[in-house]
Amino acid sequence: MYKDVTRGILSGLLATSLLSLLTLGSGLVPQFKLVTLLIGITRAVLEGSGLPAPLAGWLWFFAIGGVWWGAWFAIIAPIIPGRSFGIKGTVFGLVIGLAVIWTIMPLAAGGALGMQLSFWQPVVTISEHLLYGLSLGLIYSWLSKH
C-alpha cells in the first residue's frame, strides 16, 4: 500500500504540473485559471501568514492535486469502475471536477457551479479535471509497470 500511495502522489504531482502548464499556456481563455479560485479561499485561510496570495494559491493547488488527490486515487483505484488506470483516472477526474463546481466554486465567490465567473466555467473546469484524471491514471499505470 505504501508503494501505491507513493506512486499516487508522484502521479498526482506530475498530472498537476501538466495541468498547470496547459492552463498557464492556454492564451485562448486566460480567465479560466483554476488557481485563481483557490486564491480567494487561501487569503481567508492564510491571512496573516505572510505568504502572498498567488504563491499560497499555487501551494494549495499542488498540495491538493498532487498529494491529496494523488494519494486518494492510489487508495481507491481498486474500487473505481474501469478496466484500465486511464479510465479509472478519468472517472476520478469527473468526480472531483463535479465536487469542485458544486463546492469550491461557490466558496470562491463563483456562484452556483461557477456561473458568476463565466457561462463556460463549469465546462472548462470539468474538462480540466477530466484531463487531470486521465493524466493521473496514465502516469500511475506507467509508474506501476516500472
Q: Report pTM.
A: 0.81
pLDDT of residue 52: 64
Count Cβ atoms below 10 Å from residue 144 Cβ, excluding itself: 15
Residues of the chain with pLDDT > 70: what percent? 70
The C-alpha cell at 9 is 502522489
CA angle (10 as vertex; 8, 11 as ends), nearest 5: 60
Contact 65, 16 (CB under 8 A): yes
Q: What is the pLDDT of residues 120-130, one digit of tens each?
A: 778 888 888 99
**Burial per residue of 4-42, b for 16 or more beta-carbon CB atoms within 10 angstroms, e otherwise:** bbebbbbbbbbbbeebbeebeeeeeeeebbbbbbbbbbb
Report whether pLDDT(45) > 70.
no
pLDDT of residue 121: 76
Contact 31, 118 (CB under 8 A): yes
Query: Three-class SS of residue 5?
Result: helix
